[in-house]
Structure 1
């Protein structure tokens, strides 16, 4: 018996995850092999959402290092673009936020502050949202597979892949996420009670293509699924590839 998997047409386009690139300038020089207490800047920016920036310190290989006296939770961090600027509010654990600064797609966002007697600056570009999205189907039917469904009398017939396409004239990077949004989704492949169930979502690795194919066997659950198409920067694509194909160590878009 075939059951349906539906793809929700409403897309969440504006999940943009730029990675900050930072530079540090100072008057003094240090030895090449000496540890320097440089900050690590992490920020995830989405138009229409509050700014969130997290600072942390490097973890040196040696325990005999000296950290600066700077309080990672009490720095004056300024974020600005071509029109406006704002000083972020610290909320602890190295996190800084602001809800008044309006993030605009297609704009360059800058950050600056002082740390360890050095001027720290960082910048990132917010990509524009995807456009021209089309899909060849809104649902597919797949037979449930497992012991309770019985042995098939013939090999199952797989439905045609679903084609997803969008405009990508400038060869930008796009990340696609397919997420099951049912409260208690039914599994396509039956599992034993003690087996770990797969995640209710899967991703397509960032690429510069203008479309992808979704094959029936990629879906783990029946029911309604949400399509999330993310326009990401090359830095994020590189980080994704170097971390893992599943991107489990990255913040979910």
Structure 2
């Protein structure tokens, strides 16, 4: 096991943490402080020893065209302060705001976000939690049988049975953790290959899967969740309660227009710290 200090180079943490969280783009009819459609949606995950990246998107009211939910808000003067320093973020390729590359965030420091949008001060604060401790796995690899399906009507039999990979860690303070499992092969090799005529394509088979946040000390992965041969990173993330609160409302739809929980003053979304550790894992062909 090694510190997961380079995990951002392996995959996008924004994608990891956004899995299962639909940041609501609709208005809250109970909040008259800012008119519906006028709030920015902030998406910021602070990672220790890495620079700052923040996404800010336009909120779309229900009366507007929902195809524009990913509209980037440009021209903002965003600052993040912490540890006696102030970092001015710059727009990058009209997709996000970022700090200078030499910025390195620290565990246990309170970081505060601030910018002006539609005449209102948008603000939030968070702390980066300590790194998870004691991550272990009962197995370092599993073996699965390659299957080539030549007819439609199924995705193959469970010829290998279902083996459990038991992950454990220390958690004396009952903090929130969840696991993301990511295939890191440059050319992923599917375990079950479907016929070309099927409507289920390779794109439907996820290289990455995750567990739900828990306050316990264990999570079980099933062998059938691993859909590719090869090398994996099993990443244990420690997150703050605000992330979990937003995760738990990820089923919010247009049928429920109440705004999900947020710690963003005069805005929506999330600004939170995370930390992680990783294990290497492998799925071998029988």
The 1:168–1:147 alpha-carbon spacing in structure 2 relative to 1, beyond 3 Å, is same
Equivalent of 1:185 in 183, 188, 192 = 188
**Shift in Å, 1:91:** 3.4
Counterparts of 1:147 and 1:54, CA distance in 2: 42
Equivalent of 2:242 in 207, 221, 235 = 235
The 1:168–1:60 alpha-carbon spacing in structure 2 relative to 1, beyond 3 Å, is same
Matched with 2:173 is 170
**Shift in Å, 1:10:** 4.7
Question: Quick check: 2:37–2:61 contact (8 Å CA) kept in 1?
Answer: no
Matched with 1:76 is 77
Structure 1 residue runs of 4 or more that deviate by more than 6 Å after TM superposition: 13-19
Matched with 2:120 is 118
Question: Quick check: 2:40–2:117 contact (8 Å CA) kept in 1?
Answer: yes
Counterparts of 1:31 and 1:178, CA distance in 2: 41
Question: Quick check: 1:178–1:226 contact (8 Å CA) kept in 2?
Answer: yes
The 1:157–1:96 alpha-carbon spacing in structure 2 relative to 1, beyond 3 Å, is closer
Q: TM-score w.r.t. structure 1 length? A: 0.70
Matched with 1:5 is none
Per-residue Cα deviation, 1:114-150 (whole angstroms, up to 9, x for no partner)? 33333332112212211111111211223334558xx
- Give the number of aligned pairs: 215
Question: Quick check: 1:51–1:97 contact (8 Å CA) kept in 2?
Answer: yes
The 1:132–1:60 alpha-carbon spacing in structure 2 relative to 1, beyond 3 Å, is same
Per-residue Cα deviation, 1:41-70 (whole angstroms, up to 9, x for no partner)? 22122122221122233222346xxxxxxx
Equivalent of 2:221 in 214, 218, 222 = 214
Matched with 2:4 is 12
The 1:127–1:62 alpha-carbon spacing in structure 2 relative to 1, beyond 3 Å, is same
**Aligned-residue CA RMSD (Å):** 3.4
Question: Quick check: 1:11–1:228 contact (8 Å CA) kept in 2?
Answer: no
Counterparts of 1:115 and 1:147, CA distance in 2: 54
Per-residue Cα deviation, 1:12-42 (whole angstroms, up to 9, x for no partner)? 37677789xxxxxxxxxx9679547333222
**Shift in Å, 1:165:** 0.8
1:41-120 matched pairs, under 5 angstroms: 41-62=42-63, 72-91=73-92, 93=94, 95-99=96-100, 100-120=102-122
